[in-house]
Amino acid sequence: TNNYQRSALDRVIKEQSAEIVAGGSVFYNPVQEFNRDLSVSVLNVFARRLLKERNAAAKKNVKEGNIETNNIEDNALTAGQKYENGLRILEALSATGLRSIRYAKEVAGVREIIANDLSKAAVESIGENVKHNKVENLIEPSQSDALTLMYLSTGNDKHFDVIDLDPYGCPNRFLDAAVQSIANGGLLLVTATDMAVLAGNTPEACYAKYGCVPLRMKCCHEMALRILLHSIETHANRYGKYIEPLLSISADFYIRVFVRVHVSQAKCKYSMSKQSMVFQCTGCETFTLQQLGNVKVNTTDKGKSQTKFGIPTGPNVGMNCEHCGHKHHMGGPIWSYPIHDQEFVKELIQAVNDKPLCELGTQRRLQGVLAVVQEELFDVPLYYVLDKLCCVLKLENIPVLKFRSALLHAGYRVSFSHASKNSIKTDAPATVLWDILRCW
């Protein structure tokens, strides 16, 4: 039936502040609780940051006499209250409305949330759940194709400060509309669950969807994050926009990225230097990155600095591997700039730690993942997995900690990646890794 009715298939679900009914045909996945807890926490920190930036801009305008009053909210924000200058959020693919209800009840500094879904049954369930949770003041249920809704919201006064895309599988068909309907400096939250494609099982499908050739590598989870970021950046660049990743997480069977989208034609010129091709040896699996572009700041004779954009020379797919002589596979381009913002991660950890313990169902896991993220070498893309390195040299497995300390003693930096527990992220050249292992 199309009419919303309680049926034997309905389940009552309680997740943190929200209590919802998930009907038989409406999508609900309990495993995504971590994703929702993380998103609520990120939005709280982001809301504070955005409102602070807006307050500062408004104060400057008042001082310069451009506007009479800044009409801005005070800094002590409360969840559940409506703020006229707060965040305008679109949950484009909302299903039961659970995520939107949690944003309404748990994120401070919200103006309004559009909880949208294409399915009539889903939108009826959103309506019921919104009423049941008494958040009609903040949430407007909407039944529309997400693309149409976003394309109709590309005018300045209609832009969203936050767009959450949580589709089945690949998010790519929604990205063109999303980067256009997001406000300058707004936050895009994107989930992708098509991990087999991103991990290189069908490179032709990944190229068609994400514009990137994936490689079957041990670091496939971070590679997947970088493929998605590359794709969002290229969509943004078409409209004179560029992305600033705040946090990029690989968890369970999906990846989730949180990126700000800014407007600047000038900054788009730097985009080429944030992407790289990846060369992977078909014998020992050593990888090398080759930036698509490089940036040089030259000082001219008159003392004026000038930025030059160049195409670098570097490893070539035709060249054999310097370590074992095999040929290379070539993949990419991927996003090779940092995937997290260090300052944002610090604030986020603080915010999660400040919460009463167990306020979030997955709080301990969140703390654990974010602690590893904070330690990650932000400027070193991808990682090796020690078991695989040992396997290439037919060595017995070596304890990760001992290998890490060998690298540290040799004067290099090393960290784990949150995406794999046996990972070795290091700025040591591959020759050093192989030398250490050969002497083991």
- Footprint of ligand SAM (CB under 6 A): 27-28, 32, 36, 93-96, 98-99, 116-119, 122, 145-146, 166-168
Cis peptide before 167 (omega within 30 of 0): no
Is 329 strand, coil or helix?
Answer: strand
Report the residue number, 123 or 219, with the smaller CB distance to ligand SAM. Answer: 123
**Secondary structure E strands in 146-253:** 160-165, 182-192, 241-251
CB of 151 to ligand SAM, least distance (A): 12
In the block, tokens 């703020």 appear at 83
Report the residue number, 149 or 225, with the smaller CB distance to ligand SAM. Answer: 149
CB of 229 to ligand SAM, least distance (A): 21
Report the residue number, 166 or 233, with the smaller CB distance to ligand SAM. Answer: 166
Report the residue number, 145 or 252, with the smaller CB distance to ligand SAM. Answer: 145
Candidates 155, 145, 242, 254; CA nearest to 198 is: 254
Report the residue number, 116 or 275, with the smaller CB distance to ligand SAM. Answer: 116
* Residue 136 in tokens: 């009609």
CB of 35 to ligand SAM, least distance (A): 7
Please say whether the beta carbons of 330 and 317 come within 8 A: yes
Q: Dihedral of CA 122/124/127/130: which sign?
A: negative
* Residue 403 in tokens: 């290998």
* Residue 236 in tokens: 């943004």
- Tell how strand 328-335 and strand 275-281 pair up: antiparallel
CB of 428 to ligand SAM, least distance (A): 40
Report the residue number, 99 or 105, with the smaller CB distance to ligand SAM. Answer: 99
Please say whether the beta carbons of 91 and 138 come within 8 A: no
The rounded distance, in Å, linking the Cα atoms of 352 and 241 is 31
Please say whether the beta carbons of 433 and 389 come within 8 A: yes
CB of 165 to ligand SAM, least distance (A): 9
Candidates 391, 386, 395, 388; CA nearest to 421 is: 386
Report the residue number, 198 or 436, with the smaller CB distance to ligand SAM. Answer: 198
Report the residue number, 116 or 363, with the smaller CB distance to ligand SAM. Answer: 116
The rounded distance, in Å, linking the Cα atoms of 239 and 4 is 41
CB of 235 to ligand SAM, least distance (A): 17
Candidates 45, 46, 26; CA nearest to 160 is: 46
CB of 28 to ligand SAM, least distance (A): 6
The rounded distance, in Å, linking the Cα atoms of 184 and 71 is 20
CB of 358 to ligand SAM, least distance (A): 21
